[in-house]
A = this chain, B = another copy of it.
Amino acid sequence: MKATFSPPEPELMTQADVRTRLLTAAEKLFAQHGPAATSIRDLAREAQVNVAAINYYFGSKENLYLETLRQAFRASREVMPRFDALAQEAQATGTVEAAHTALRLYIEEFMKSLFVSDESDRHMRLMAREMSDPTPALDAVIDEFIEPKSNILKQLVAQARPDLDPETEVPFYALSIVGQCLHYRLTQPVILRLMKREKMTSEMLDQISVHIAAFSLAALSR
Contacts and interface: CB of A to CB of B under 8 A. Distances in A.
Counting every copy of the chain, the complex holds 2
Interface residues of A, number: 43
Contact of A132 (B180, B187, B216, B218): B187
Question: Which 5 pairs of residues, A with B, have the shortest CB-CB distance?
Answer: A179-B183, A219-B219, A172-B211, A218-B219, A179-B180
A47 interface: no
Interface of A: 34, 36-37, 131-134, 138-139, 142, 146-147, 150, 171-173, 175-176, 178-184, 186-187, 189-191, 193-195, 207-208, 211-212, 215-216, 218-221
Contacts of A146: 190, 194
Contacts of A207: 172
Nearest to A182: B183
Contact of A171 (B36, B132, B180, B194): B194
